[in-house]
Structure 1
Amino acid sequence: MARLNLLEETRFEKLPVTVFKNPKEASINVAHRIASIIKEKQAKNLNAVLGLATGATPIAVYAELVRLHQEEGLSFKNVITFNLDEYYPMQATAAQSYVSFMNENLFDHIDIDKNNVHIPDGTLKLEDIPAFCLAYENKIGEYGGLDMQILGIGRTGHIGFNEPGSAPNSGTRLVTLDDLTRRDAARDFGGKSFVPTKAITMGIGTIFKAREIVLMAWNRKKASIIKKAVEGEMSSDVPATYLQLSDNVEFILDEEAASLLTRFDTPWLVKDCIWTESLSRKAVIWLANKLNKPILKLTEDDFNNNGMAQLALEKGPVYNINIHIFNKLQHTITGWPGGKPNADDSQRPERAEPAKKRVIIFSPHPDDDVISMGGTFIRLVDQKHDVHVAYQTSGNTAVWDDDALRFVEFNIDFSEKMGMPQPQMRDTYAKMRQFIEQKKPNQVDIPEIQTVKGLIRKGEAIAGARYCGLDDDHIHFMALPFYESGKNVKNPVTEADVLLTMELLQKIKPEQVFAAGDFEDPHGTHIVCFNIIIEALRRLDKTESWVKDCWLWMYRGAWLEFETHEIEMAVPLSPQEVERKKFAIFKHQSQKDRAVFPGDDAREFWQRAEDRNRETAKSYDNLGLADYEAMEAFVRFKF
């Protein structure tokens, strides 16, 4: 019976999928499967032939393999490896090469014979590539084929660098990279213009010959393409769908990457559900949006014809369900994000008391506060709460080089105009300019440039916070140490990061904390900053009584927005407040027009924020609630 239930639950899925709680657990599982193959082959005095991948996805797999070697004696002397791909052209010694990646993450830390390592050669002449690709294929065959091929998946659905349009029987070859693939790689190269336009990749047909294929995917960014690959029709538009043809494939996912699969996203379509409050709300909103109806107009037939008969039967009549969900949504709307004084707060998202709250808005980068919750920021100040803003990082990697030079030029000109010549500043300027003229893509800035870029962003943040109504003594710059690497890849979080955060929290003792819950930023800074806040509050909770009365609200906006069913507080904005928020964002001039790290959204940050806020308001309007100009959305984090 359990097997039948599982088959029903996964009936939309066209290949085997295993879901783990988080990437770490999944990665350890894959690493131990690889280790088992190696040991089995060793016992038979045979080589283990592995197909390896690069990118962020397999890093934790390689880390666990290194640990198994160093701590448990796993030997790689019998291992032959073939990597999936390499950029073209690409020097093996370049920081962005997959040779460098594999050495740094695996090969330099294990006892593998480097003669057994095979990676496509990015230095070949164009005319030599076809012969090399054929030899690469033949060499895999000479070793008896791949025992296991591990894969990631790109947001175009590519596996290896087999972009949309690739044939299912394709072999190793030179390919042209999709624009989205190059945008996703831009951060590693210091800009999309530096990302190669081509790559050498194993073909889908080559991958298919592996005796075992494991595709891994982590985090919400991959959820939509995973749904297409697992549940969609086979198509060259999504090359990963061809894996549905294999009897030897398994997708290994974390919960976020699997979140849009039918069994997790709309489970009522595949199984009987335990109808919790949150699932009922999600289902009713889903049904209303699917049928393009306000909630209060949904009928029993609508429920029965769309997999929700069980909900109607258990919680009905249907109209009562509709009214209940409608009222719950209505109660999320408030013009008093800090709580309405002297009001019944039993149906409101925030407490009425204390009437004037101490508030900290944590901003991972110097502009996240106004981009994601600028309207609420201004409203809290206008309603006389004691608002502080804390900028957790300097954001000094996200300023253009010419802006840094321009600000130093201004400083020199101003000083000399005021009769304060600064020969030392001129020397510093010359040093900066010389470095920038010779700077390589993604090269770490010299300290002087890092300082100037940090000061640019600090000045903009002060201007934005002042515009929102804050005095200077309520504006805090934390400069958390983990960020100050000068590189896109940041240092690990240290005790100092947590202690600095605890110190600020102890000083202010807030009743309200706002923090970025928008974890899709391409830098990964938001999730790191959020986890530091959580750790600080958890520690303080053991000794500080005020923590029990401190509520933590998560905001989004720069990179995505909360789904309507998730929202616990929606703050409506008038047209005038939308304009005020926009002008607060405009204070961040270095991020306007074209940010250094814009992600794959072509809109400016103020446009993204404005559009998302309007979309949130429209979603409420479509469900039959009041029609507002815009809304900022929040979800309360409960420890």
Structure 2
Amino acid sequence: MNTTLLNQQIMTDREFERLQTLSFGTSAEASIVIAHEIADLIRDKASKGENAVLGLATGSSPLKVYDELIRLHKEDGLSFKNVITFNLDEYYPMQPDSVHSYVRFMKENLFDHIDIQDKNIHIPDGTVAMENVYSFCQDYEAKIAAAGGLDIQVLGIGRTGHIGFNEPGSTENSRTRIVTLDAVTRIDAAPSFGGLDNVPKRAITMGVKPIMQAGRIIMMAWGSGKAPIVKKMVEGDISMQVPATFLQKHDNVSVYIDEGATENLTRITTPWLVREVEWTEAMIKKAVVWLAYKTGKPVLKLTNKDYLESGLDSVLSTKGSAYDLNIEVFNMLQHTISGWPGGKPNADDTQRPERAEPAKKRVIIFSPHPDDDVISMGGTFQRLVDQGHEVHVAYQTSGNIAVSDDDARRYATFTQSMMKTFEFDSAESRSKLKEITGFLDAKEEGDIDSLAVRQMKGQIRRDESIAACRYTGIPVSNVHFLDLPFYETGKVRKNPVGTADIEIIKNLLTELKPEQIYAAGDLADPHGTHRVCLDAIFAALEELKTEEYMKNCWCWLYRGAWHEWPIDEIEMAVPMSPEQVLKKRKAIFFHESQKDGVVFQGTDDREFWQRAEERNAGTAKLYNQLGLSEYEAMEAFVRYHFI
């Protein structure tokens, strides 16, 4: 694109986007750019004999930025001796040595790995007496001013639109203070605290006013889970109900987002409203589907007038009439629907999503956790088995941290009782069970499970997975537990994907030589287990793609219990009958440890089977609204082209 067209595009985007918004393929790519801007500031200030004053954030958003700053320090000699930092917030009350404190977070993720001076580190004090909080907050802002003000303030955004802990209702002139946390914020923090009841109800936060006084503001938002609030922040009106919108009044703000976080922006959802687009087949499908939902009409009932009144005259001109365009898009949608996810034997597969040959395929279903397979694609799973394909399931992680202590204790007690009843106990077994129950009895909030407890919790999930597979018709010999090392930290935060993780996946692919792969393509959280598991699969496929057996392998991506692919992106939709929906539900029920108030419930209090059924029914309804056949439910997939 030439410079003139690029400038026109940016100006057009600004009609919708009121903040400079920079999108990257991944959060890692964006984080490196941010870290290097911070490093440049530090070096420039050092060359002048000045301090660099940084406002820092916590949470998952800045982690890769901190990782890159640490690398720059260790490998490129970046010194932090001239750096003064002020953190945005801290839970209240909170002891600094607590596993949940932001003091500990900053030490573990940045400060302990660089040469910053302790006297230059400032974090709100979660132990200050309530009667002294007001004066502490005033003093905190005075220290910022005495340091010369913030050169750069790094921010993440909460799903409520908070910056720092300035929740909805915060004013533009709010100062550093103690606040009550929004329910959504506390729910989002619950996994790290081992449950909502353990999350503090209050926090000390830098106010909107001191944040806005920073010379430069860098906002980060990663993953499709942040896409709705990113749209409000970037395109919405300034409002106390979305405090991040106050950033629109700052003259030096950049919003860094990854691909997932762009999903709701106008330039992504309806790019033809922003600029001239190339009317590819995919873009035509996207526009016509959008128009159908906008008008409330099935695709085949759209008229020339509908197109013209909605600014789609240019797409109409590609075919000349709504009649021809509607038929083309209707056929595109129709051809995605298939009751033969492994391909229909002895059939013309020209217009089918999957190949007819080989008629019997070797299939690997990769499941990040030990229940994602049946929750996300249980109906398709069953179809593949019933249609005679050789189906293997590969559980990528143990899922042990998602088993509650109560469940672990219950299984340990049950095992002890069984050993006594059938007189097969041994001194070693008794000792191990005593170790497990003793640890659980003494465990305090924030403690990391012992290895024995993690092993027991992992075994619980293994046995549940085997039971679900057996019900579906998968022999135990086709069930593979990969236990990828990145997951086994015992903590909510996992390690980055490593060579060992990739090698384990490569070894399985090399052993089985599949013709079809299914993988979880859920991008809601770029630091989450699903994304790390997907990255490991992608890396393995990249390394193996030149192998002869991989040239006949297709990879399909499914999504998890919370999100579904947009209709215009779906390339294979597998319909389900009412009976198949019930069978899928029963397969999910075998995962008993994940029922009735699971450890990581999130903001959705429905059980997994309810979320899955409502999502699948919703997909079928959306297809029906477009004029396609009415089905009870549908599971959707997008193909990943790695060759």
TM-score bracket, normalised by the shorter chain, equals: over 0.9
* 1:637 partnered with 2:640: yes
Q: CA deviation at 1:24?
A: 2.4
Write the letter of the residue equivalent to 2:354: E
Cα-to-partner distance string for 1:237-272 (whole Å, 9 max, x where unaligned): 111111112223222222322232212221101211
Q: 2:410: which partner in 1?
A: 406
Q: CA deviation at 1:307?
A: 2.1
Q: CA deviation at 1:521?
A: 5.9
Whether the aligned pair in 2 keeps the contact of 1:186 and 1:195 (CA below 8 Å) is yes
Of 290, 295, 300, the residue aligned with 1:291 is: 295
Cα-to-partner distance string for 1:296-337 (whole Å, 9 max, x where unaligned): 111112111212111112333222111101001001111111
Of 585, 589, 604, the residue aligned with 1:586 is: 589
Write the letter of the residue equivalent to 2:87: N
Instruction: Flag the 1:291–1:48 CA change in 2: closer, same or farther, 3 A.
Output: same
Cα-to-partner distance string for 1:316-372 (whole Å, 9 max, x where unaligned): 322211110100100111111111111111011111111111111111111111101
- More moved, 12-21 vs 328-337: 12-21
* Matched residue SS, 1:326: helix
Of 63, 76, 86, the residue aligned with 1:82 is: 86
Whether the aligned pair in 2 keeps the contact of 1:10 and 1:263 (CA below 8 Å) is no
* 1:146 partnered with 2:161: no
Cα-to-partner distance string for 1:413-456 (whole Å, 9 max, x where unaligned): 22222233444433333322221122122322122211211111
Q: CA deviation at 1:633?
A: 0.6
The count of residues paired between Structure 1 and Structure 2 equals 638
Within-5 A mapping of 1:48-447: 48-447=52-451
Q: Which runs of 5+ in 2 are unaligned?
A: none
Q: 1:535: which partner in 2?
A: 539
Write the letter of the residue equivalent to 1:601: D
Q: 2:564: which partner in 1?
A: 561
| Distance (Å, rounded) in 2 between the aligned partners of 1:531 and 1:50 | 32
Whether the aligned pair in 2 keeps the contact of 1:191 and 1:441 (CA below 8 Å) is no
Q: CA deviation at 1:35?
A: 2.4
| Distance (Å, rounded) in 2 between the aligned partners of 1:364 and 1:212 | 39
Q: CA deviation at 1:19?
A: 2.4
Within-5 A mapping of 1:3-82: 3-82=7-86
Of 497, 501, 514, the residue aligned with 1:497 is: 501
Q: CA deviation at 1:58?
A: 1.4
Whether the aligned pair in 1 keeps the contact of 2:361 and 2:515 (CA below 8 Å) is yes
Cα-to-partner distance string for 1:115-170 (whole Å, 9 max, x where unaligned): 11111101111111000001111221222221221111111100000000101100
Instruction: Flag the 1:522–1:52 CA change in 2: closer, same or farther, 3 A.
Output: closer
Whether the aligned pair in 1 keeps the contact of 2:222 and 2:526 (CA below 8 Å) is no
* Matched residue SS, 1:36: helix
Write the letter of the residue equivalent to 2:582: E
* 1:481 partnered with 2:488: no
| Distance (Å, rounded) in 1 between the aligned partners of 2:477 and 2:76 | 54
Write the letter of the residue equivalent to 1:634: F
Of 601, 605, 610, the residue aligned with 1:602 is: 605
Write the letter of the residue equivalent to 1:413: S
Instruction: Flag the 1:546–1:44 CA change in 2: closer, same or farther, 3 A.
Output: closer
Q: 1:508: which partner in 2?
A: 512
| Distance (Å, rounded) in 1 between the aligned partners of 2:558 and 2:373 | 9
Cα-to-partner distance string for 1:357-416 (whole Å, 9 max, x where unaligned): 111111111111110111111111111111121212211111111211222222222222
Cα-to-partner distance string for 1:517-537 (whole Å, 9 max, x where unaligned): 123369711122222222323
| Distance (Å, rounded) in 1 between the aligned partners of 2:264 and 2:110 | 32
Q: 2:628: which partner in 1?
A: 625
Whether the aligned pair in 1 keeps the contact of 2:223 and 2:525 (CA below 8 Å) is no
Instruction: Flag the 1:41–1:523 CA change in 2: closer, same or farther, 3 A.
Output: closer
- More moved, 479-488 vs 119-128: 479-488
* Matched residue SS, 1:636: strand
- More moved, 296-305 vs 313-322: 313-322
Instruction: Flag the 1:455–1:73 CA change in 2: closer, same or farther, 3 A.
Output: closer
TM-score, normalised relative to structure 1: 0.97
Write the letter of the residue equivalent to 2:71: R
Q: CA deviation at 1:13?
A: 1.4
Instruction: Flag the 1:55–1:406 CA change in 2: closer, same or farther, 3 A.
Output: same
Write the letter of the residue equivalent to 1:273: V
Instruction: Flag the 1:460–1:207 CA change in 2: closer, same or farther, 3 A.
Output: same
- More moved, 409-418 vs 368-377: 409-418
Q: CA deviation at 1:278?
A: 0.8
| Distance (Å, rounded) in 2 between the aligned partners of 1:245 and 1:330 | 47
Q: CA deviation at 1:69?
A: 2.6
Instruction: Flag the 1:528–1:16 CA change in 2: closer, same or farther, 3 A.
Output: closer
| Distance (Å, rounded) in 2 between the aligned partners of 1:401 and 1:40 | 51
Instruction: Flag the 1:73–1:354 CA change in 2: closer, same or farther, 3 A.
Output: closer
* Matched residue SS, 1:515: strand
* Matched residue SS, 1:95: coil
* Matched residue SS, 1:634: strand
* 1:547 partnered with 2:550: yes
* Matched residue SS, 1:458: helix
Whether the aligned pair in 1 keeps the contact of 2:412 and 2:437 (CA below 8 Å) is no
- More moved, 65-74 vs 167-176: 65-74
Q: Which runs of 5+ in 1 are unaligned?
A: none
Instruction: Flag the 1:442–1:279 CA change in 2: closer, same or farther, 3 A.
Output: farther
Whether the aligned pair in 2 keeps the contact of 1:174 and 1:200 (CA below 8 Å) is yes
Work out the percentage of aligned pairs sharing the same amino acid.
Answer: 58
Write the letter of the residue equivalent to 2:304: E
- More moved, 411-420 vs 281-290: 411-420
| Distance (Å, rounded) in 2 between the aligned partners of 1:12 and 1:634 | 31
Cα-to-partner distance string for 1:457-483 (whole Å, 9 max, x where unaligned): 111111100111112222222222222
| Distance (Å, rounded) in 1 between the aligned partners of 2:214 and 2:495 | 37
| Distance (Å, rounded) in 1 between the aligned partners of 2:525 and 2:607 | 14
Whether the aligned pair in 1 keeps the contact of 2:496 and 2:532 (CA below 8 Å) is no
| Distance (Å, rounded) in 2 between the aligned partners of 1:236 and 1:611 | 33
* Matched residue SS, 1:315: coil
- More moved, 247-256 vs 353-362: 247-256
* Matched residue SS, 1:553: strand
- More moved, 180-189 vs 337-346: 180-189
* Matched residue SS, 2:71: helix
Give 4+ residue runs of structure 1 displaced > 4 Å after superposition. Answer: none
Whether the aligned pair in 2 keeps the contact of 1:574 and 1:629 (CA below 8 Å) is yes
